[in-house]
Amino acid sequence: MERHFDEQLATLKHQLVKMSALAEIMIGDAVRALVDRDPQALVGLDAREEQVNRLQVDIDEACLTLIALHQPAAGDLRFILGAAKTNSDLERLADQAINIADKARRLIAVPALTPLVLIPRMAGIARGMVADSLHAFVNRDVSQARAVLLRDDQVDALKAEVTTEMLRLMTAEPAVIERAMGLILIARNLERIGDHATNIAENTIFVVEGRDVRHHGEGHKV
């Protein structure tokens, strides 16, 4: 029975890693389409979203099965509960990638507003946070989780820079308001991706230490 539990737990981890990898690709493709003004970068995005949605259902079922059949002890129970939360965050951040893609389609159909520097930088940090937070979770690596929390401030600061720059452009030339608002909203989508990665990192700390660090500024104490 214990061996069966370990195998099912390993499968659960593999599913989470796969889901995270799909979400990272979606984020990268959506931002690449925007930066390179290349609609071909969005080909396959909808199919990946369907894969993510199927994995979400499978992972939720796996978590329920593990709890119902094996009545896991405290540490493993926390991991399974954390996996269910992580599953939800991964699905939601993949949704943010779809939102970016939708705005990118509209923006690349009109003249470029300004060279994009801050948004791809934000995307790079956010994607790294997703990858590292998931790695921290499946490996129960608290040190890596805390490092992820620290990067959330970088994403927030870049979002503020994008917003300031776009507001300046809108004030100088009202005709660009729609395009500038599109870029502000994409920066907000990337900020939300960083927030979901932060949630996963906080899940890791809960799983390993049994402490809920949400709303306690944990990331600023490292």
Per-chain mean pLDDT for the chain: 94
CA distance 192 to 24: 14
Please state the length of the chain. Answer: 222
How does residue 182 score in pLDDT terms, banded at 50, 70 and 90?
very high
Contact yes or no for 12/63 (Cβ under 8 A): yes
Average pLDDT over residues 173-192: 97
- Can you give the pLDDT at residue 222? 38
Q: Are 101 and 43 within 8 A, CB to CB?
A: no
So what's the pLDDT on residue 210?
83
Arithmetic mean of pLDDT, 51-73: 95
Tens digit of each residue's pLDDT (9 = 90 or more) over 110-148 = 999 999 999 999 999 999 999 999 999 999 999 999 999
Structural domains of the chain, with CATH: 2-220 (1.20.58.220)
Neighbouring residues of 118: CB distance < 8 A, sequence distance ≥ 6 = 158, 161, 162, 165, 187
Q: What is the dihedral angle through the alpha carbons of 180, 182, 185, 190, rounded to the nearest 10 degrees?
A: -100
pLDDT at 153: 95
Asked if the model's pLDDT at residue 1 lies above 80, the reply is no
Model confidence pLDDT, tens digit, residues 3-57: 888 899 999 999 999 999 999 999 999 999 999 999 999 999 999 999 999 999 9
Neighbours of 90 (CB within 10 A): 28
pTM of structure: 0.92
pLDDT given at position 220:
45
Q: Inform me whether the pLDDT recorded for 219 exceeds 90.
A: no
| pLDDT score recorded for residue 186 | 98
Separation CA 9–CA 16 (nearest Å) = 11
Q: What percent of the chain has pLDDT over 70?
A: 95
pLDDT grade for 211, boundaries at 50, 70 and 90: confident
Packing angle of the helix pair 74-107, 118-139 (nearest 10 deg): 160
Cα distance between residue 133 and residue 123, in whole Å: 15
pLDDT band at 218 (very low <50, low <70, confident <90, very high): low
